[in-house]
Amino acid sequence: MPTTPSPHEGQIRSEFCNDPNMREIVEMYVTEMPERISMLSGLWSAQKFEDLRRVAHQLKGASGGYGFPVVGAAAGKLEGTLLSLTDGGAASNLRELREQVDELLSLCRRVSL
């Protein structure tokens, strides 16, 4: 059973890296990742939590299909935390959210074929 990489280790290779039928779409996903990273960072900075949750949800759903389940898991964790926010609880969860956003961004920066 593969271990989950630390968010600070080397590249995360797609589970489909050796599948010639998947190479083109995985390349597209990896190539578009800097745009997703920028979007996540900007939404976090602007504290647009609903938009951040939507992007995390999209990453959660797509990442596994491109062979990056660890990214999907981190995105799902962030989405869950964002869903659990209430008006009164947002401030107390900002540290946890920051850590989850940082982890997801770190993982996204490491995706590779």
pLDDT tens for 35-93 read: 999 999 999 999 999 999 999 999 999 999 999 999 999 999 999 999 887 555 555 57
Q: Give the per-residue pLDDT at 93.
A: 75
As a dihedral over the C-alpha atoms of residue 81, residue 5, residue 2, residue 33, rounded to 10 degrees, the angle is 70
Q: Give the per-residue pLDDT at 20.
A: 96
The pTM assigned to this predicted structure is: 0.87
Contact 50, 106 (CB under 8 A): no
Where do the domains of the chain lie, and which CATH numbers do they carry? 20-112 (1.20.120.160)
pLDDT of 9 > 80? The answer is: no
Task: Give, in order, the Cα–Cα distances in Å from 85 to each of 35, 59, 63, 79.
Answer: 26, 19, 24, 10
Contact 62, 29 (CB under 8 A): yes
